[in-house]
Chain A
Amino acid sequence: DAGVTQSPTHLIKTRGQQVTLRCSPKSGHDTVSWYQQALGQGPQFIFQYYEEEERQRGNFPDRFSGHQYPNYSSELNVNALLLGDSALYLCASSLSVLAGRDLAQYFGPGTRLTVL
């Protein structure tokens, strides 16, 4: 049973550039959430995708956008990168609440983004 996978593992960008991070959910899961984790902090919710639509969003600017594909995989895009965007970006998958199933979110290994 494949767990959550993310790519790439590490990424280095410069200020002003754009980045795309990718996530494949755990087998059988239909919901993908993205989190940003700064060093020494807990993960902060960015947004969640279900049925190819953004269902909920945290307190992040519009520079952060996403997409979910029919196979439930997802992308996180960040435009006009700032130094402060340097962080570990985590993807978590779960089954939709509407399905009345497990609320547990399972995380991938993350993508370490460094903005210079």
Chain B
Amino acid sequence: GESVGLHLPTLSVQEGDNSIINCAYSNSASDYFIWYKQESGKGPQFIIDIRSNMDKRQGQRVTVLLNKTVKHLSLQIAATQPGDSAVYFCAENEEGYSTLTFGKGTMLLVSP
């Protein structure tokens, strides 16, 4: 079946840098996307979401960009901090359904 995947399994950055985590999806019927942060031993934490009628959405220090033409999603984290170190998942939702399909995740490592 169609699924969501990530390009980079691990991303290492220095504290203060901006981070960009990428995600490709293949289900053209997906119309809603969420980014989650998961720290070791914890459940996924909601970061930001975006609907397919938008191409950009900003939160606190985070921005999600959606390119429907190439089915690509990215999460930008400004001024990355050591506390941002975690695994980041993108998840997609298909119109008419409430379930989420997750990719394998990207590990973000932030060095002080």
Contact = CB atoms under 8 A, between A and B. Distances in A.
Interface of A: 4, 6, 31, 33, 35, 40-45, 48, 50, 55-56, 58, 90, 92, 94, 96-97, 103-110
Contact of B99 (A42, A48, A90, A109): A48
A90 B32 contact: no
Interface stretch (B38-46, B58-66, B69-77): B38-46
Contacts of A103: 32, 49, 93, 98
A110 B102 contact: no
Given A103-B32, A103-B93, A104-B49, A110 B43 contact: yes
Contact of A58 (B93, B98, B99, B104): B99
B34 A41 contact: no
A42 B97 contact: no
Contacts of A4: 43
Contacts of B103: 42
B20 to A, nearest CB: 19
B98 to A, nearest CB: 5
5 contacts: A42-B102, A42-B104, A43-B44, A94-B98, A104-B49
B43 A108 contact: yes
A43 B103 CA distance: 8
Contacts of B91: 42
A4 to B, nearest CB: 8
Nearest to B100: A105
Contacts of B43: 4, 6, 90, 107-110
B104 A48 contact: no
A1 to B, nearest CB: 14
B98 A42 contact: no
A45 B105 CA distance: 15
B46 A56 contact: no
A109 B45 CA distance: 9
A45 B1 CA distance: 13
A33 to B, nearest CB: 7
B99 A45 contact: yes
B25 interface: no
Interface string B63-95: 000000000000000000000000001010100
